């Protein structure tokens, strides 16, 4: 498997959401209100569409 960095596409959204939830698990456990910690698929899609992700 070749690794690389690229700009995300909408087809990446479900995997990116899973990765984000795993990355921010400790933030949620602390009860901190950080948008990425409670992201949903719509938020991820909006981020991919409107920003470099």
Residue-level pLDDT at 2: 79
pLDDT averaged per 10 residues in sequence order, the chain, 53 residues: 88 96 93 91 97 91
Question: Residue 53: its pLDDT value, please?
Answer: 87
Q: Please give the model's pTM, rounded to 2 decimal places.
A: 0.81
Pairwise CA distance, residues 8 & 52, whole Å: 8
């Amino acid at each position: 498997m070749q690794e690389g960095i690229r700009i995300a596409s909408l087809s990446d959204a479900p995997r990116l959401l899973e990765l984000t939830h795993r990355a921010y698990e400790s933030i949620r456990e602390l009860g901190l209100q950080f948008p990425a910690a409670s992201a949903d698929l719509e938020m991820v899609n909006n981020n991919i569409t409107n920003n470099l992700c």
